[in-house]
Structure formats: structure tokens, C-alpha cells
Amino acid sequence: MTGSTMFTPRFPEGFLWGGATAANQVEGAYDVDGKGLSIQDVMPKGIVAPRTERPTPDNLKLEAIDFYHRYAEDIALFAEMGFKIYRFSIAWSRIFPLGDETEPNEEGLAFYDRVLDELEKHGIEPLVTLSHYETPLHLAEAYDGWTDRRLIGFYERYARTVIERYGHRVKYWLTFNEINSVLHAPLLSGGINTPKERLAPKDLYQAIHHELVASASATRIAHEINPDIKVGCMVIGVPIYPLTPDPRDVLACLKADHANLAFSDVHVRGEYPGYFLRTLAEKGVELDIAEGDLATLKEHTVDFVSFSYYMSVCDTAAQAAGQGAGNIMGGVPNPTLAASEWGWQIDPIGLRIILNQFWDRWGKPLFVVENGLGAKDELIEGPDGPTVEDDYRIAYMNDHLVQVAEAIADGVEVMGYTSWGCIDCVSASTAQMSKRYGFIYVDRDDDGAGSLARYRKKSFGWYKELIASNGATL
């Protein structure tokens, strides 16, 4: 293995090992049992291409990997690996098909009862994301998503409905997936139908305010329903390094950091930071803040901070520097790092750095709720049936987890680690199957062909041993 010989990784007892998925990328059954359309059902080409008017047959998410019907088999595989926790999202449009109704769809609620039953049977703790890039389409079309204040009320009703229903059996909740991505992907993240190029700064920042207030409200609702519940915010975690030691580059990084950190600063500290207010002023944005909003933000801060980690980026004050590929936000490529096939730069040490930064900044427990390597896998015939020799994935995760252990040794409180796409699913950025992250291979290709059969990859056995040893096999 690739772990350091000098350092013995140690994880605390009760460390929450597991995996993560999102409804729109695994469930399929997009129109089954009363589900309404979500924005994902009209985004067949991923996050950068324009949306379609209606669902089109080339949209792999409509069937995805059919978790809706195969959840029991999939959860049994997670249990075989020894998962302590499974992160998944509830599809808002299964519960409120249009998003603005007053009564929920019972069949949608019943589906997640079944998922929770299955997890309980195997002793796997659930971690539920309320909104993972799947705003009901009607809210995007009729309200322009989160630009409209009424979304707060719709989200509160949705949150109350599901937390009342499941709050006695789900302890860990996340309010919005990668909430800071709305700056880069307004439709995906904020359900904002107006194309990014035409979106006025006032509307974008107003949407951010609405989401932050809604997030704090959901935290209040969860704590009212069950004081034992722990609510976290969820952000893209990305260390931003100066391309050179030029102070102007360092300052460029500080500013880029601020744009990202504002979201968790509000979630943890309960108020808008000074640098954020300056940004608003410079953009000429005056937020409409209703009575009670600032008190809601202040009084209902989160219990923990969770984040995705795939890469670091560089930044520079020089306008001429090119933009590299990356998890939604991108950045200037780092000349010292290698990259995945999709140009996402691989930086295990960056995970230790950001864990330390976040801990130093907020002193709140941290949860790595997404990490992993998207790669093209080749299915081969092994001694026990079809498999994938994904040593590259094992190396990636091993190196990153060693850095998590380093951060823990630095004194950082880390609650757990859920690898992204623990079972192959439809990629968010490309909307294809061929960018795979899983320990479990799913037989489906980019044209939608395949039996949907599940096969254990080599990493499946690796992760199983790792969990069984609580990280000692790194």
C-alpha cells in the first residue's frame, strides 16, 4: 500500500465509515409512485449544457441504477463491506411532486420508510441530505427557484414533513448539498431557471440569502422535533493555493476562499461576515432581509460541518492564467499535481490541510461526506465472476484516508468518511455512467444499455478490510 511508513494511522472508536449517493443519480423511477419532475429530469447532459423542456430518452438519470427497486440488494452489499453509515438524499419531488403543495405524497414517504427499514436491519446509520441538486422542476419554472422568497416556506414544509416522519430514526441530517456551488451552477444548485449569463447579481445573492435562512429554519425544525438530531451544512471543500508567492496571488486566494467560506461562516457563526458584506456592496446588491431572518441565522447554527473533497486548485491575480477543470468551480491548474482523466487534480495532502483549516476556523466536528476517484473501469472475468481491478481507486482512497488520519493526529475532530458514489451511479457533471466511483460496478453504459447487474470490484474487499480494522490496514 502507499501509506507512509513513519506514521501509524489511528481512527477514533465509532468513526463513521461508509458511502454516499444522491437520489437523482441512483434512484431512477423518475415518474413512479407519484414522483414529480425535478430539475435533473431535464438535465440530460450534466451541469454545463442547457436544460431540455421535458425529460428526454437520452437522460440516464431517468432510470439511473434503479436503486428505487434494488435498494435492498444494494444496502445488503453496503452491509457486507461493513458500512457504519450510508449517506443518501431524499428526492424532494417524491414527497412534494410540484414542491408547492400543502399535502405530501404518501407513496414517496413510504419509499424512504422502506430504505430506512433496510438500513436498520443491517445496523447502518442513515445520513440524509434534504436537497441534493434536485429542486422540483415546477419550483424552477414557476418561481425561478431560490430567487423567490416563497421557496423558504416550501422547503420548511418539506423539511418538517420528512423530519417528523423519520426524525426518530435518522440522527444526522444535511440541509443542502454543496450549498456554495450556487455561485457557479445556479440551476443545479439553486433551481434557478434564468440562465447564468442573464442572472442579475441581486437575484443570485437573494437566492443565497433565502437558502441560508431556509437551512437555519430546517435546523430549528429538526432540533424542535428531536433535540438529539445533529444537523450539518455541506460545502465544496477546496484548498486554494497561490500560484506564486506574489502577495497579489495570495490575496487572490484569500478572496476566492472567502467566496466559498461565506456559506459555512454563516452556518456556523450565524451572521454574514464583513468580507461578504463588502462583496455585496461592491456588486451594488442590497439584500431584502425580512424581519426575523437575521435572528433565525443567529439562533439556529449547525452542529457540524460536512464537505466534499476531490481536489485543490491554484489561484493567481494574473488575468491571463487559464482555468482548469474541476468539481463545479474549477481553478488555475497546479503544475505540481497529477490529475484524473477529467482533469480533477489529485491532492491527498490538501485534505489534511482543509481539515485543519476548517477545524481552526470553526472548532466544529467535521465530516468528509464525499471523496473518491472518478475513473473509467474495465470489467474483467475474475475467479469469482466479473470484477474490476481498480488499484488506482484503492491508491487514491488510501492516500486520502492517510491524510484524514494525519489530521486526526493534528487534533482535528473528524466524525466520519463517506466515499462518493460507493456504488457506480450517473455522474453529476457529465451525466454519464462511464465516470465511475464505486466499490460496486453497475452494468450500464453511456447509451443506457446493460443488465444493471452489480459486481464487487477489488476495492470492495479493500474497503471491507479497512472498515473491519477501523483504518489500521491503511
Give the separation between CA 371 and CA 354, rounded to whole angstroms: 13
Give the separation between CA 231 and CA 301, rounded to whole angstroms: 9
Environment class of 287 (CB within 10 Å of its CB; exposed 0-12, middle 13-18, buried 19+): middle
Residue from 22, 81, 95, 256 touching ligand BGP (CB under 6 A): that is: 22
Positions in 358-377 near ligand BGP (CB under 6 A): 370, 374
For residue 418, state whether it binds ligand BGP (rule: CB under 6 A): no
- Kindly tell me which of 344 and 460 has the beta carbon lying closer to ligand BGP: 344
- DSSP secondary structure letters along 57-104: TT-GGGTTT-HHHHHHHHHHHHHHHT-SEEEEE--HHHHSSSS--SS-
Positions in 289-348 near ligand BGP (CB under 6 A): 308, 327-328
Contact range with ligand BGP by CB under 6 A, out of 355-363, 396-404, 425-433, 447-455: 425-433
CB of 350 to ligand BGP, least distance (A): 16
**How many chain residues touch ligand BGP (CB under 6 A)?**
13
Give the separation between CA 207 and CA 154, rounded to whole angstroms: 14
CB of 195 to ligand BGP, least distance (A): 20
Residue from 94, 267, 393, 435 touching ligand BGP (CB under 6 A): that is: 435
For residue 178, state whether it binds ligand BGP (rule: CB under 6 A): yes
Give the separation between CA 216 and CA 208, rounded to whole angstroms: 12
> Are 94 and 33 contacting, i.e. CB atoms less than 8 angstroms apart?
yes
Environment class of 243 (CB within 10 Å of its CB; exposed 0-12, middle 13-18, buried 19+): buried
CB of 85 to ligand BGP, least distance (A): 17
Contact range with ligand BGP by CB under 6 A, out of 1-9, 280-288, 290-298, 420-428: 420-428
For residue 131, state whether it binds ligand BGP (rule: CB under 6 A): no
The DSSP element (H or E) to which 128 belongs, if any, is strand 125-131
Q: Residue 461's Cα: distance from chain center in Å?
A: 25
Contact range with ligand BGP by CB under 6 A, out of 261-269, 378-386, 399-407, 428-436: 428-436
- Kindly tell me which of 252 and 302 has the beta carbon lying closer to ligand BGP: 302
For residue 161, state whether it binds ligand BGP (rule: CB under 6 A): no
Strand 380-382 and strand 385-387: pairing?
antiparallel
Catalytic residue among 224, 370, 389, 413: 370
Residue from 427, 436, 439, 444 touching ligand BGP (CB under 6 A): that is: 427
> Are 338 and 345 contacting, i.e. CB atoms less than 8 angstroms apart?
yes
Q: What 8-state DSSP symbol labels residue 147?
A: G
For residue 18, state whether it binds ligand BGP (rule: CB under 6 A): no
Asked if 103 is an active-site residue, the reply is no
User: Which residues are designated catalytic?
Assistant: 370
Give the footprint of ligand BGP on this chain (CB under 6 A).
Answer: 22, 177-178, 308, 327-328, 370, 374, 420, 427-429, 435
